[in-house]
């Protein structure tokens, strides 16, 4: 995530520098590091520490500042549910048939739900364990909550919405995720496949005026390679 985040931050930095150059007519050096980007991604843990002085601990899938915002067991599959305010929490309770939780003093407001997150998770799962996970996840999503069944990688790849959003590309031997950036006028696409190992070796050498005899000697002596060595 730090590698990917640094790439995304760097792309934004380049765009910011280009936009600033339009005003100043000057370029500038961008100093981007993995460390800095890793620190910036530690949200909300660093702000929590700076304001409270308490060192955060691992919370698994649960959000440290919001509850319920976690994974839950059901009768069939695990699901994720996020209810970030009182209104969303009330909607969730209604869908689960647990309206009594809405007026429970332990869960009156988000701070109460965070303080009593273990009790709340037990209450929610006591209802969910009687219900099919995929069915209740769809109901919660239709009610406006952030909710969904938890899928493994194969299920994500095969999911109808993944296909609808063209997020998996297969072109012959090349298989990869699609682009999440959807531009209306200039949409992204695979124009060139990444080269296979040594695919352009001879072509590049000829561009530098190597004769066929020289290339053959380099290949036969294994000075250059056209395929990976075992």
Q: Which residues lie across from 82 on neighbouring strands? A: 69, 146
Residue 68 CA from chain centroid, whole number? 20
Please count the other Cβ atoms lying within 10 Å of the Cβ belonging to residue 21: 12
Q: Provide the pLDDT confidence category of residue 229 given band limits of 50, 70 and 90.
A: confident
Q: Which fold has domain 69-150?
A: formyl-coa transferase, domain 3 (3.30.1540)
Give the DSSP letter of residue 54.
P
Q: Provide the pLDDT confidence category of residue 226 given band limits of 50, 70 and 90.
A: confident
Question: For the segment 160-188, what is each residue's pLDDT rounded down to a tens digit?
Answer: 999 999 999 999 999 999 999 999 999 98
pLDDT more than 90, % of the chain: 92
Q: How much is the average pLDDT of 131-136?
A: 95
Closest CA to 9 of 44, 26, 33, 29: 33
pLDDT more than 70, % of the chain: 100
3 in catalytic set: yes
The residues, any chain, with a CB within 8 Å of residue 82's CB and separated by 6 or more, are: 63, 66, 68, 69, 88, 145, 146, 147
In the chain, what are the domain boundaries? 2-41, 69-150
Position 122 pLDDT exceeds 90? yes
Catalytic residue among 3, 119, 158, 212: 3
Position 230 pLDDT exceeds 80? no
The position carrying tokens 């590049």 is 204
pLDDT at res. 45: 95
Mean pLDDT for the chain overall: 95
Question: For the segment 39-84, what is each residue's pLDDT rounded down to a tens digit?
Answer: 999 999 999 999 999 999 998 999 999 999 999 999 999 999 999 9
pLDDT at res. 228: 86
- DSSP states of 130-175: TS-HHHHHHHHHHTT-EEEE---HHHHHH-HHHHHTT-EEEETTEE
């Amino acid at each position: 995530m730090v590698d990917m985040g640094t790439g995304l931050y760097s792309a934004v930095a380049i765009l910011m520098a280009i936009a600033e150059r339009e005003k100043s007519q000057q370029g500038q050096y961008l100093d981007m590091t993995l460390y800095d980007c890793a620190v910036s991604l530690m949200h909300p843990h660093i702000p929590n520490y700076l304001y409270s002085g308490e060192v955060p601990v691992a919370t698994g899938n649960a959000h440290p500042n919001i509850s319920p915002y976690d994974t839950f067991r059901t009768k069939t599959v695990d699901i994720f549910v996020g209810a970030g305010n009182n209104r969303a929490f009330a909607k969730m309770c209604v869908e689960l048939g647990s309206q009594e939780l809405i007026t429970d003093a332990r869960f009156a407001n988000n701070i109460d739900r965070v303080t009593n997150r273990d009790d709340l998770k037990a209450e929610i799962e006591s209802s969910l364990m009687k219900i099919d996970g995929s069915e209740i996840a769809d109901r919660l999503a239709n009610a406006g909550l952030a909710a969904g069944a938890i899928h493994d990688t194969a299920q994500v790849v095969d999911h109808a919405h993944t296909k609808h959003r063209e997020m998996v590309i297969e072109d012959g031997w090349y298989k990869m995720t699609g682009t999440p950036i959807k531009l209306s006028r200039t949409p992204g696409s695979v124009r060139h496949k990444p080269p296979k190992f040594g695919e352009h070796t001879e072509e590049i050498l000829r561009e530098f005026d190597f004769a066929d005899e020289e290339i053959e000697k380099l290949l036969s002596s294994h000075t250059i390679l056209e395929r990976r060595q075992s």
